[in-house]
Structures are given as structure tokens and as C-alpha cells.
Chains A and B, each alone.
Chain A
Amino acid sequence: EVVLTQSPATLSLSPGERATLSCRASQSVSTYLAWYQQKPGQAPRLLIYDASNRATDIPARFSGSGSGTDFTLTISSLEPEDFAVYFCQQRSSWPPLTFGGGTKVEIK
């Protein structure tokens, strides 16, 4: 099973700042990695798939990069609605499809 480790657990930033979230895989997943955003009481939303492709209607301030075992989600300038929890997920080796533990982006 591929284990995904996200860091940091919590990121405290102000609106307008740049957010950099990390996801590290226990073995190479090539570029088969996605990122999701989840707000309290809501379902997750697909942001990025295949490491760097934005999903439908996702703003350009969200970008993904990386390959192999190290991946990054960058939010170039935080908007108020971006404060949420972010999860990564791999599809390289399954079953099972696995998720990281999440990074909470909170308002500083």
C-alpha cells in the first residue's frame, strides 16, 4: 500500500499570501497524484489530477507539481474561500486508492 504523508499538518497564513503544501509518497507514484479541497461540512472537491492538471472550473491560482515521490500544491495568492483542508490521493498502485492525512490551511 502506498502511504502518502502530507506536511505541514497546519499552515497558518494570511489572505494574499502564497501557500505551499507538500505530499510525499512511500514509493514512486509517477505523476498519478491528485489534490482535493474540503471545507467544513462539505464533500471534497477535485482540484488537481495527474500532479499538475487543473480540474474543471478550478482557478489558475491553484497549481500542482512533482513526480515520483514528492509533490507540491501551490496556491499563489490565498483568497478567503481557500482556507480549508487539502488532501492528496494516489492512483498509481491500487487497490487500495490512498489519501494523505491532510493539511489544514488556516487564517493567521
Chain B
Amino acid sequence: QVLLVESGGGVVQPGRSLRLSCAASGFTFSRYAMHWVRQAPGKGLEWVAFIWSDGSNKYYADSVKGRFTISRDNSKNTMFLQMDSLRAEDTAVYFCASHKGYYFEYWGQGTLVTVSS
């Protein structure tokens, strides 16, 4: 079955960097576009970034543009989110999700990122 497993979250100081990973299995990863979606504690969902199946195109929410970079390694069935210049407002659970017509079909369990001094 489809399995998405995020990792790399933790506590980081403002202005520092963190790299999240999303390991995929149970489907042909290289054929699917992928997304990152986040959820601040007790809040709603916010789309963060999107990458095409071959990695050729990438899109970002304005709130993270210029600070976050989405990428993927299809040979390792893994997607990444490089987060630089982190801010307190980036504190959230970060989910990776598979793309289905610009909806989010399968989700990982999420990894918590806390930005705090």
C-alpha cells in the first residue's frame, strides 16, 4: 500500500535551516507530482510547495518563496524540503502528500518543526 514517511523535523532557532525528507513506497514515485502541506498547532492547513514528477517545475506559497526549496530524488523515492531562514511562524507539522489533479490523495503522518529560541 502507499506509504509516505516524513522525517527531519525538530526544534530549530529562528534564522537557521532544516531539511525535511519524505520517503515514498507502494507506488511508482517517479510518476507522481508531490506536495508539502503544513499545519500550525491547532490551526488549519496551508499548502507550501509542489514539484512535478520529474522535478522540472516547482511552485511555492508566497509565505515561503525564496526561503524554502522543494526537490526530489526519484532514484531514492524521496522528496525533500530545504527550509532556510526559518521564522517562528513556520512552526507547524509538515505533511508530504501525493498529487491527484491538484488535490492531495495520500498523506504522510507529518513531522513537527518548531522554530524557537
A interface residue numbers (CB < 8 A to B): 32, 34, 36, 42-46, 49-50, 55, 87, 89, 91, 94-102
Q: A95 touches which one: B61, B104, B107 (CB < 8 A)?
A: B61
Q: B105 touches which one: A55, A87, A94 (CB < 8 A)?
A: A55
Question: Do A97 and B102 form a contact, CB below 8 Å, given A43-B95, A87-B44, A87-B45?
Answer: yes
Give the residues from 75 to 105 in chain B that come closer than 8 angstroms, CB to CB, to chain A: 95, 100-105
A4 to chain B: closest residue by CB: B44
- Which B residues are in CB contact (< 8 Å) with A89? 45, 103-104
Determine if A91 and B62 form an interchain contact, defined as CB atoms under 8 angstroms apart.
no
**Cα(A45)–Cα(B97), bound, Å:** 10
- Which B residues are in CB contact (< 8 Å) with A49? 100-101, 103
Cβ of B103 to closest chain A Cβ, rounded Å: 4
Q: Can you list 11 contacts pairing A with B, beta carbon distance less than 8 Å? A: A43-B108, A44-B45, A44-B104, A46-B100, A46-B103, A49-B101, A94-B102, A95-B50, A95-B59, A95-B61, A102-B44
A56 to chain B: closest residue by CB: B105
- Which A residues are in CB contact (< 8 Å) with B46? 99
- Which B residues are in CB contact (< 8 Å) with A42? 109
**Cα(A23)–Cα(B112), bound, Å:** 28
Give the residues from 34 to 86 in chain B that come closer than 8 angstroms, CB to CB, to chain A: 35, 44-47, 50, 59-62
- Which B residues are in CB contact (< 8 Å) with A36? 45, 104
- Which B residues are in CB contact (< 8 Å) with A45? 107
**Cα(A102)–Cα(B60), bound, Å:** 22
User: In the complex, given contacts A89-B45, A94-B102, what are 10 additional A-B residue pairs having Cβ atoms less than 8 angstroms apart?
Assistant: A34-B103, A36-B45, A44-B45, A44-B107, A50-B101, A91-B102, A95-B47, A96-B62, A97-B35, A97-B50
- Which B residues are in CB contact (< 8 Å) with A102? 44-45
Q: A91 touches which one: B60, B103, B108 (CB < 8 A)?
A: B103
